[in-house]
Structure 1
Amino acid sequence: MCMSFVIGLWLMKLMKWKNVPVSMSQMTFSDHIDPRQRFLYKLSQKPGLEHFKNVILAGTLQDYIVPYHSARIEMCKDATKGDELGTVYSEMLRNVLEPVLNNKNCHFVRYDASFELPKLLSILVWAMGHCALIKSRQFLENFFQNVGLKYFE
């Protein structure tokens, strides 16, 4: 896990937001001692994405809240180490992606985005990168004008 992501989660826990302890332990994959009993692993076993006509994943390296590989549902460096958590993470990826990729009626695409953000070191800038994909009018217009509309015809 990247250091800025860990720091961001630590700050969110420190602020004691409502329902944060439960959701934070689930998001950080620390809600059960057995990785296969954790919420995200069990969620990965449920059907879902394969029922959509289009699955479009967009990620940015400037998002310090959700790791890039997680937003794009792809393998991360730590998962290739071959330890138990790496094996579990690989299983989760297969659980989520295989049904989508095996559905010939489902289009699956990953997109990368980059934004000009202030160079300040603060949690607000980290959140800006996280929110930029959905809040940037320019990104959304460019996406739909150049590629996105074909998925929604």
Structure 2
Amino acid sequence: MQIFGDPSAIPIVIVERVLNTPQRSLSYNSYMKNLDLKDSIPSRIDVSSEDGKKPSSATTAKKVRDLKIVVFVHGFQGHHLDLRLVRNQWLLLDPKIEFLMSEANEEKTSGDFREMGLRLAQEVISFLKKKMDKAAKYGRLGDIKLSFVGHSIGNVIIRTAIADTVMEPYLGYLHTYLSLSGPHLGYLYSSNSLFNSGLWVLKKFKGTQCIHQLTFTDDPDICNTFFYKLCKQKTLENFKNIILLSSPQDGYVPYHSARIESCKAASVDNSKKGKAFLEMLNSCLDQLRAPTTEDRVFLRSDVNFDTSAYGKNLNSFIGRAAHIEFLESDIFARFIMWSFPNLFK
């Protein structure tokens, strides 16, 4: 009760723990049937020491200092403190982390994702170098773990940053990736007509480049669009732990896109668009299946919020309430992070 509060008011969180990562989708209507679900987290994350770090040698001349950095990235027209509640839970779980609340794209989320990704990459590299230099002054630098948390299109910015060549020297440091309702497959099959109308207005009258990219209208040939190419780039396979949080109540991000899986609309689409979607989906799943020296932990988690708290208002009507609830409630984060603490240490 002290941790989670009143049981009648907390969200229902359904976790699918996938240890052997998803197989390729042979058809559009694959859903979760090809996933090998297990009952426990792999032995890789069973650690012997309390804080999850390898014990240093007694003969080491200098004390080994591990560096754990977590980068928090806001969504469309967001603020750098949007993810502070999730950050606070991570700090409670592991007070030794260094955190960066990204400000590189604050008030700049209407442009090209490539530009936003480069700004984030440069911000992360600058922060990482500063912390590495500081840690090296007080001892020998040990393991470096670089984790990311993104909300909404912040996840697209994260993946774009990772795909940028300037991040290549740091890919080996990638550790945990926590995605809060991220449109990883774009808005190719969005069923929310009201939200789609809003996207049309942004494209028509505001000239919002990132919306064109999200909806695959930035190029007449879908295979030349930004999102198609992003899904072909290796942005996920370097992470040791990947957690995708989604909500069926969220009308702002397509459910299948947040979970990186197929959908009913795609299952009956035999056009070039449907084929391109399948290629994008399998490219992402192939990254999760890529060979690695360590086991890769992949979690899909559905968060079902208490809808009675929303009332009847515009936010709940257009599906925005659940999307914002990821920022305004930390109960789901407590459940995930304290249930699987080794993924966040």
Corresponding residue to 1:55 among 239, 242, 253: 242
Between stretches 46-55 and 93-102, larger displacement belongs to: 93-102
Change (3 A) 1:145 1:49: same
Matched, 1:141 2:334: yes
Higher strand share: 2
Instruction: Summarize the alignment of residues 43-82 of structure 1 with structure 2, pairs less than 5 Å apart.
Output: 43-81=230-268, 82=270
> In 2, distance between residues paired with 1:98 and 1:50?
8
Structure 2: stretches of 5+ with no match in the other structure? 1-189
> In 1, distance between residues paired with 2:205 and 2:251?
17
Shift of 1:5: 3.3
> In 1, distance between residues paired with 2:336 and 2:202?
31
> In 1, distance between residues paired with 2:204 and 2:217?
17
Between stretches 95-104 and 37-46, larger displacement belongs to: 95-104
Indicate conservation of the 8 Å contact 2:251/2:323, yes or no: yes
> In 1, distance between residues paired with 2:201 and 2:321?
16
> In 2, distance between residues paired with 1:38 and 1:13?
15
How many residues are aligned here? 148
| 1:53-104 per-position Cα deviation (integer Å, ceiling 9, x unaligned) | 1111010011111111001111111221222111100100111121212334
User: In structure 1, what is the equivalent of residue 213 of structure 2?
Assistant: 26
> In 2, distance between residues paired with 1:120 and 1:9?
23
Indicate conservation of the 8 Å contact 1:5/1:67, yes or no: no
Matched, 1:93 2:281: yes
Kindly provide the amino acid, as one letter, of the partner of residue 90 in structure 1.
L
Runs of 4+ in 1 over 4 A off after TM superposition: 11-15
Change (3 A) 1:136 1:119: same
> In 2, distance between residues paired with 1:119 and 1:7?
23
Q: Give me the TM-score of the superposition, normalised by structure 1.
A: 0.84
SS at match of 1:151: helix
How large is the RMSD of aligned CA atoms in angstroms? 2.1
| 1:21-68 per-position Cα deviation (integer Å, ceiling 9, x unaligned) | 211111111111111001000111111110001111010011111111
User: In structure 1, what is the equivalent of residue 224 of structure 2?
Assistant: 37
Q: Give me the TM-score of the superposition, normalised by structure 2.
A: 0.40
Indicate conservation of the 8 Å contact 1:4/1:64, yes or no: no
